[in-house]
Chains A and B, each alone.
Chain A
Amino acid sequence: QKEVEQDPGPLSVPEGAIVSLNCTYSNSAFQYFMWYRQYSRKGPELLMYTYSSGNKEDGRFTAQVDKSSKYISLFIRDSQPSDSATYLCATDIRYSGGGADGLTFGKGTHLIIQP
């Protein structure tokens, strides 16, 4: 059964704090793990994707995957008011040549960074 669990929040933190966003998934066949950011009334924007267990860093953002516990995380350092948005985790099973039959999303966490 495809399922990704994510706390919808809202999560409110002061500017400059480290933010931790988390998801769990149930299907061990999931291979790729993504984080999308969605501003109000906009389409989801891909932030990061990872394939293997471990950490991947991009500027202030770090994505972490633990396949043994089926747990994925996104950390935001030095959070800014402009980071206020809904963050969606997603996962899929990729074809051998790339592509997939669609992403399975968590419900999204609404993040508020207070100035």
Chain B
Amino acid sequence: NAGVTQTPKFRVLKTGQSMTLLCAQDMNHEYMYWYRQDPGMGLRLIHYSVGEGTTAKGEVPDGYNVSRLKKQNFLLGLESAAPSQTSVYFCASDGGYEQYFGPGTRLTVT
């Protein structure tokens, strides 16, 4: 039982490049979330999903897209990366009353 895993752990992008972050959970949770964490800002919700095939916007969705084609996976895409998207990205899943977080992806956009 690996819990919540994230791929990749680190990435450096140039402005304008695209990439996809993968989150996987093996707990059969319905709810999944993407957050970003920036110094002095805390964790902020980007997008979330309440079940397979569904997605919804969070607090800071601009510049990101998501997909939940399979229940266990939640993908976060950056179509055209900007330096303002330099951050640590955390995925979480929720089985009803507790959210469990992955180890994070550290992204730098130059």
Contacts and interface: CB of A to CB of B under 8 A. Distances in A.
Interface string A26-51: 00000010101000011111100100
Given A103-B99, A105-B42, A42 B104 contact: yes
A88 interface: yes
Please report whether the interface of chain B is mostly helix, strand, loop or mixed according to DSSP: strand
Contacts of B100: 46
B101 A43 contact: yes
B102 A103 contact: no
Given A44-B43, A99-B31, A49 B48 contact: no
A94 B95 CA distance: 12
Interface in B29-70: 30-31, 33, 35, 40-45, 48, 50, 56, 58-59
Given A98-B95, A98-B97, A43 B45 contact: no
A18 interface: no
Contact of A102 (B58, B95, B104): B58
Contacts of A107: 40-42
Nearest to B29: A99
Interface in B83-110: 90, 92, 94-104, 106
A101 B47 CA distance: 9
Contact of B90 (A44, A49, A104): A44
Nearest to B104: A43
A43 B101 CA distance: 6
A44 B31 CA distance: 17
B42 A108 contact: yes
B96 A98 contact: yes
A42 to B, nearest CB: 6
A45 B101 contact: yes
Contacts of B30: 99
